[in-house]
């Protein structure tokens, strides 16, 4: 069942989203050569707790970190640890915060040092595909309209959409109905209604779409070893334009 949020629920989700987005920005500032993913995870956890919130991901289905930190060909769900970021790495950071009974969820891909123009393009296209998608995040459209817009934009630039993992509804639970794929057909899927809150999160590969889950049970990598990028925000369906509940400051956009 899709949960529609009350005005009070939305206020609480704005609070959760603001904390979540600030944690993303903090993580992005730390993405530099020599910094360990464990250090970024600790900073994210400490910040979220300092705001009176809880990290949404910590111990979620057994996940051991407060942030998912995925490097280069890692698509999502990279587990923080002793690995140190190197010059030329791209680092996707996915964070969530829970406060007042509601979650926020957002992600971005950050650059450490110098990367190729093609990698920059991958990150830019991934981020922009989110905005192409939410042009259709309006009452009366369907989830498939968002999905199709993301897919069409990504594929028009020669990149591939990950299909095994998708966006989702969000609210009192981190993952709620409906699923929000990054590929799909216009006019299909649940109809969008004011009060719905969803996390839209394109996952885009430079090479082929195929991915695999590593033996740790979490980390997802591209099968061909080519880079992948991730971008996500929590949004509210309104009677007009969609509202982004995870503010965009420090969201990692290379072109800013």
Q: Tell me the per-residue pLDDT of 48-80, one tens digit each, with 9 for 90 and over.
A: 999 999 999 999 999 999 999 999 999 999 999
Q: Tell me the per-residue pLDDT of 201-232, one tens digit each, with 9 for 90 and over.
A: 999 999 999 999 999 999 999 999 999 999 99
pLDDT value of position 256:
36
Element (H, E) at 211: strand 211-213
CATH number of 7-244: 3.90.230.10
Per domain, the residue ranges of the chain are 7-244
d(CA 19, CA 169): 19
Q: Which two tokens stand for residue 84?
A: 């140190």
Q: Which two tokens stand for residue 32?
A: 């530099």
d(CA 164, CA 181): 9
Rg (CA), the chain: 17
Q: Which two tokens stand for residue 213?
A: 């889950």
pLDDT value of position 250:
87
pTM of the model: 0.97
d(CA 47, CA 27): 10
pLDDT value of position 252:
79
Residue 255 has pLDDT above 50, yes or no: no
């Amino acid at each position: 069942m899709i949960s529609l949020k009350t005005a009070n629920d939305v206020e609480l989700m704005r609070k959760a989203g603001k904390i979540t987005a600030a944690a993303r920005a903090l993580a992005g500032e730390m993405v530099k050569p020599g910094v360990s993913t464990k250090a970024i995870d600790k900073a994210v956890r400490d910040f979220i707790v300092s705001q009176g919130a809880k990290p949404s991901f910590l111990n979620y289905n057994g996940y051991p970190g407060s942030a998912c930190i995925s490097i280069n060909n890692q698509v999502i769900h990279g587990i923080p640890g002793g690995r140190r970021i190197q010059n030329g790495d791209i680092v996707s950071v996915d964070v969530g915060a829970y406060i007042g009974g509601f979650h926020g969820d957002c992600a971005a891909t950050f650059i450490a040092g110098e990367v190729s123009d093609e990698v920059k393009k991958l990150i830019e296209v991934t981020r922009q595909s989110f905005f192409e998608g939410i042009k259709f995040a309006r009452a009366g459209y369907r989830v498939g309209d968002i999905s199709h817009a993301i897919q069409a934009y990504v594929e028009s630039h020669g990149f591939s959409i990950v299909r095994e993992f998708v966006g989702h509804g969000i609210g009192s639970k981190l993952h709620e109905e409906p699923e929000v794929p990054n590929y799909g057909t216009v006019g299909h899927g649940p109809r969008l209604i004011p009060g719905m809150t969803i996390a839209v999160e394109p996952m885009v590969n430079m090479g082929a779409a195929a991915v695999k889950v590593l033996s740790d049970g979490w980390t997802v990598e591209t099968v061909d070893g080519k880079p992948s990028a991730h971008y996500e925000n929590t949004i509210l369906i309104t009677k007009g334009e969609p509202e982004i509940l995870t503010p965009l400051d420090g969201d990692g956009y290379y072109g800013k």
